[in-house]
Amino acid sequence: MKPFLVTQYILKLLTADTDVNKIFKKNIYPLNAKQSTKFPFAVMKRGNITPHYSKDGHHQYDVDIDIVVVDDTYIGSVNAAEAVRKALELKSYKDTNTNETIISRITLDSADETMINDAFVQSLRFKLEMN
């Protein structure tokens, strides 16, 4: 279990989704997108990692992932955020090499929208359960 690699696992889930690929092409970035990045794009950031301990050690982590979707039209930003939600919500992730379940469940925790510098921004927070 490697909770610090969770952004890598989420990126794999997103890039495996046909609708997400149609919308973003390859414009999904960890932490930051360059100023010249074309719309639409998404930026992901790992938030809190909360370990759960038992008498014999920890057995689960809860991890927050924030995904910010940005587009130059409101409906474009909403549609892109919806594609991200559908690609992740209630999904899990297994390591293809070991067949080990890394992320057992993904749920949408919250969503917000705003406008920054004439761009429409949809912010999604997901909660992940990692085994």
Residue 42 has pLDDT above 80, yes or no: yes
- Name the residue range of residue 31's domain: 3-130
Number of domains in the chain: 1
74-111 tens-digit pLDDT: 999 999 999 999 999 999 999 888 888 999 999 999 99
For 99, the 3-state DSSP assignment is coil
What is the reported pLDDT for 1?
65
What is the reported pLDDT for 58?
64
Which residues partner with 108 through β-bridges? Answer: 126
What is the reported pLDDT for 110?
98
CA distance 67 to 11: 11
Looking up residue 58, the CATH number of its domain turns out to be 3.30.2000.10
What is the reported pLDDT for 131?
80
Average pLDDT rounded to a whole number, residues 106-123: 97
46-84 tens-digit pLDDT: 999 999 888 887 678 999 999 999 999 999 999 999 999
Residue 103 exposed, middle or buried by CB count within 10 Å (0-12, 13-18, 19+):
buried
DSSP code string of 63-82: EEEEEEEEESSHHHHHHHHH
At residue 2 the predicted structure's pLDDT band, cuts being 50, 70 and 90, is: confident
